Amino acid sequence: MLDPVLTAVHVFCAILWGGGGILGAFFLLPAFARTLESAEGGERTRAALAQRRYGLTQGVFAGGTLLSGAVLLRTTLSQGWGAFRGAGGMVLGFGVLIGLGAYVIGAGPLRRRYERVLALARSGAPVPELGREQARALRSARVAAWHLAAAGLLMAFHGAVVQWAAR
């Protein structure tokens, strides 16, 4: 009874987390990087991101994905570790690990790097220093986004792989 609801919550949150992460890493954050080159632009960008609660919503969707996924995984593991044997189990296991990797990158180094970028922009740091820190933050964002894309693909193929392996 609970599995279909949890699956829907998991998929919904994962789509929004992954989509927001990919959109941010490859489109929004590079565009915002241009505005951070001046202290005034940096404040406007920080205010815009805070007003739209981009970081908060990404965290909520990431948390929703991880919590619902943990409950679903618990159900899977109730069958024993044998659930990870075979092609379907391996796809599921790799998807879980890669998704966790995206969360760790986003909650750790990525968040700290963007906080440092905004602090440097507020302090009026020299453009070369600000640019280097922006480049590091953007690299972290792109690594996390690729993790999200890979985890999404693995989870999307999981059901097909299980059906194929059952033949």
Q: Residue 155 in contact with residue 15, Cβ under 8 Å?
A: no
pLDDT in tens, 104-151: 998 888 888 888 887 877 777 777 787 888 889 899 999 999 999 999
Does 36 score more than 60 pLDDT? yes
Q: At 132, list the tokens.
A: 């280097």
Domain carrying residue 100:
2-165
Domain count of the fold of the chain:
1
Spell out the residues 6+ positions from residue 65 whose beta carbon is closer than 8 angstroms to its own: 10, 13, 14, 17, 99
pLDDT in tens, 43-98: 676 677 667 788 888 999 999 999 999 998 888 777 777 777 778 888 888 999 99
Q: Global pTM?
A: 0.82
